[in-house]
C-alpha cells in the first residue's frame, strides 16, 4: 500500500483490509467473521432498502505514546445501538456481539490505526440492517451487523478553529416524539437538504431548534451543542436529540474540573450570553462555534470574539484527547485497550 499521509487525512472513506460481519437468522446471531469484500449482496426487497431498517454507530480507536490501541466507550455505543434496535423494531444486538465485532475489526486493521501525535484516529463504523424480504410495512426477520473501520482526520476541515453555524427555521431534523434519540439512517437523510443549504452558505452545520415550539436549541446536524458561561457547562435537554457519548463524557469532565453542569432547555436568545460554545461528537470531537446566525429572523449571535477556541473548550478538549490517547489516567473506565 502507498504510505498514508496521516497528518493530512480528511473525514472520508479509505479502504482497509477487512470488515467483520454477524448475521441474524432463526433467532440467533452468527459468530462474527471477517471478509475482505466491501460489498453486501442483499435481497431487493430487504427492509433496509424500503422501510429504513438501518441503524449505525460511530466510535474511535487511538494509538497512544506507548504504542497501545485504545477504543473509547465501546460499551456505551453497544447500548445505544440496542436502543436504536428497539426504536425501529430490529432484532436486538447483544452487547457481546457488538464488542467482539468491533475488537476484531480493529485488530485485523491494526496497521490503519494512525500514529500517536498525527492528530488522526481510526473511525469505527458499526451498522445494522434489515435483510429479510418484506413488501408490507413490517420488520425483517433477518439482519446483518457489520463493522468497518477507516482512518480519519478532523470532521470539519477547520479542526479546532471555530466555525459559524446556521439556524434554518424551514427545516426540522426530528420530531419530539419521533426518532431523534436513536442513531438511524433516516434522521441523516432528513438532514441532508438543510445541511447542504448551510454548507453552500458557508456554515459548517445547521443548529436545529426544537421542532414543536421553534424556541429552544436542539442539536447540530452531526453533533450535540454545548455553551459555557459563569463556570457552567450547559447542554440542551430535548426529546429529539441523540444522547451523545462525547457530550456525556464532557459533562463528567466539566464536573471533575469543578464546573457546574446544566442539562436543560436552552432558549435561542441565551446564545447571546455564552462565553464559548461548541459542537460535540465522536467525529466532531469539540468543534468550537464562532457565530450562530438565525437566517430567517436575521439575527446573529457572535460567540468567539477573537476567532479562537475559548479556554474552557480548550481544557476540555485536551483532557478528553488525553484520556483517549492514554496520556491522562482513565479514571472513569472509558477506555478498552486492545490486547
- Give catalytic residue positions: 183
# binding residues, ligand COI (CB under 6 A): 5
Cα gap 113→64, rounded to integer Å: 10
Return the CA Rg of the chain: 20
Cα gap 165→333, rounded to integer Å: 33
> Among candidates 243, 39, 51, 63, which has minimal Cα distance to 129?
51
96 three-state secondary structure: helix
- Does position 153 bind ligand COI by CB under 6 A? no
Buried b (16+ CB within 10 A) or exposed e, 22-43: bbbeeeebeebebeeeeeeebe
Encoded one letter per residue, x for contact with ligand PLP by CB under 6 A and - for no contact, window 214-233 reads -----x--xxx---------
Min dist CB 193 to ligand COI, Å, is 16
- Does position 283 bind ligand COI by CB under 6 A? yes
Residue 235 binding: pick among ligand PLP, ligand COI, none (C-beta 5-8 Å cut-off by kind): none
Residues 42-71 close enough to bind ligand COI by CB under 6 A: 58
- Does position 282 bind ligand COI by CB under 6 A? yes
Question: What's the full length of the chain, in residues?
Answer: 339
- Does position 281 bind ligand COI by CB under 6 A? yes
Residues 21-60 close enough to bind ligand PLP by CB under 6 A: 58
Buried b (16+ CB within 10 A) or exposed e, 169-205: eebbbbeeebbbbbbbbbbeebbeebbebbeeeebbb
Residues 277-316 close enough to bind ligand PLP by CB under 6 A: 281-282
Neighbour tally for 156: CB within 10 Å: 21
Min dist CB 283 to ligand COI, Å, is 3
Of 54 and 219, CB closest to ligand PLP:
219
123 three-state secondary structure: strand
- Kindly compute the dihedral angle of the four CA atoms of residues 159, 164, 170, 172, in this order, to the nearest 10 degrees: 40
- Does position 253 bind ligand PLP by CB under 6 A? no
Stretch that binds ligand COI, among 34-42, 268-276, 277-285, 315-323 (CB under 6 A): 277-285
- Does position 240 bind ligand PLP by CB under 6 A? no
Encoded one letter per residue, x for contact with ligand PLP by CB under 6 A and - for no contact, window 98-137 reads ----------------------------------------
Min dist CB 264 to ligand COI, Å, is 23
Min dist CB 278 to ligand PLP, Å, is 12
Residue 242 binding: pick among ligand COI, ligand PLP, none (C-beta 5-8 Å cut-off by kind): ligand PLP
Residue 151 binding: pick among ligand PLP, ligand COI, none (C-beta 5-8 Å cut-off by kind): none
User: Strands (DSSP E) along the chain, which ranges?
Assistant: 19-25, 28-29, 33-35, 54-56, 59-63, 69-72, 121-130, 143-152, 163-167, 205-209, 217-220, 224-229, 232-236, 260-264, 276-281, 285-294, 299-302, 335-337
- Does position 279 bind ligand COI by CB under 6 A? no
Min dist CB 70 to ligand COI, Å, is 17
> Among candidates 243, 159, 172, which has minimal Cα distance to 208?
172
Min dist CB 44 to ligand COI, Å, is 27
Min dist CB 141 to ligand PLP, Å, is 28
171 contacts: CB under 8 Å, gap ≥ 6: 191, 193, 194, 197, 206, 208
Which three cell numbers mark 52? 429504513
Residue whose C-beta lies closest to ligand COI: 58
- Does position 323 bind ligand PLP by CB under 6 A? no
Cα gap 217→236, rounded to integer Å: 6
- Does position 244 bind ligand PLP by CB under 6 A? yes
Interacting residue ranges for ligand PLP, rule: CB under 6 A:
58, 219, 222-224, 242, 244-247, 281-282
Amino acid at each position: 500500500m502507498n504510505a498514508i499521509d496521516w497528518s493530512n487525512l480528511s473525514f472520508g472513506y479509505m479502504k482497509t483490509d477487512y470488515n467483520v460481519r454477524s448475521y441474524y437468522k432463526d433467532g440467533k446471531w452468527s459468530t462474527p467473521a471477517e471478509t475482505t469484500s466491501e460489498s453486501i449482496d442483499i435481497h431487493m426487497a430487504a427492509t433496509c432498502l424500503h422501510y429504513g431498517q438501518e441503524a449505525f454507530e460511530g466510535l474511535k480507536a487511538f494509538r497512544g505514546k506507548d504504542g497501545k490501541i485504545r477504543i473509547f466507550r465501546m460499551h456505551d455505543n453497544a447500548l445505544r445501538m440496542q436502543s436504536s434496535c428497539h426504536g425501529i423494531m430490529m432484532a436486538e444486538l447483544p452487547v457481546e456481539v457488538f464488542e467482539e465485532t468491533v475488537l476484531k475489526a480493529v485488530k485485523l486493521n491494526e496497521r490503519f490505526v494512525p500514529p500517536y501525535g498525527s492528530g488522526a484516529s481510526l473511525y469505527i463504523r458499526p451498522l445494522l440492517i434489515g435483510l429479510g424480504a418484506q413488501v408490507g410495512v413490517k420488520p425483517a426477520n433477518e439482519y446483518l451487523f457489520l463493522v468497518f473501520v477507516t482512518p480519519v482526520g478532523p470532521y470539519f476541515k477547520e479542526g479546532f478553529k471555530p466555525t459559524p453555524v446556521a439556524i434554518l427555521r424551514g427545516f426540522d431534523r426530528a420530531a419530539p416524539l419521533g426518532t431523534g434519540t436513536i442513531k438511524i439512517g433516516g434522521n441523516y437523510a432528513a438532514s441532508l437538504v438543510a445541511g447542504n443549504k448551510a454548507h453552500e452558505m458557508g456554515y459548517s452545520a445547521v443548529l436545529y431548534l426544537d421542532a414543536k415550539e421553534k424556541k429552544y436549541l436542539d442539536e447540530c446536524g452531526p453533533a450535540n451543542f454545548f455553551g459555557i458561561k459563569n463556570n457552567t457547562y450547559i447542554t440542551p435537554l430535548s426529546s429529539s436529540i441523540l444522547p451523545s457519548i462525547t457530550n456525556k463524557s464532557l459533562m463528567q469532565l466539566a464536573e471533575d474540573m469543578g464546573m457546574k453542569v446544566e442539562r436543560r432547555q436552552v432558549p435561542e436568545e441565551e446564545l447571546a450570553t455564552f462565553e464559548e460554545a461548541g459542537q460535540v461528537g465522536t467525529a466532531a470531537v469539540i468543534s468550537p462555534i464562532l457565530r450562530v446566525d438565525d437566517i430567517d429572523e436575521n439575527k446573529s449571535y457572535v460567540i468567539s470574539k477573537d476567532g479562537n477556541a475559548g479556554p474552557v473548550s480548550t481544557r476540555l478538549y485536551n483532557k478528553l484527547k488525553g484520556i483517549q490517547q492514554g496520556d491522562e489516567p482513565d479514571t472513569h473506565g472509558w477506555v478498552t485497550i486492545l490486547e
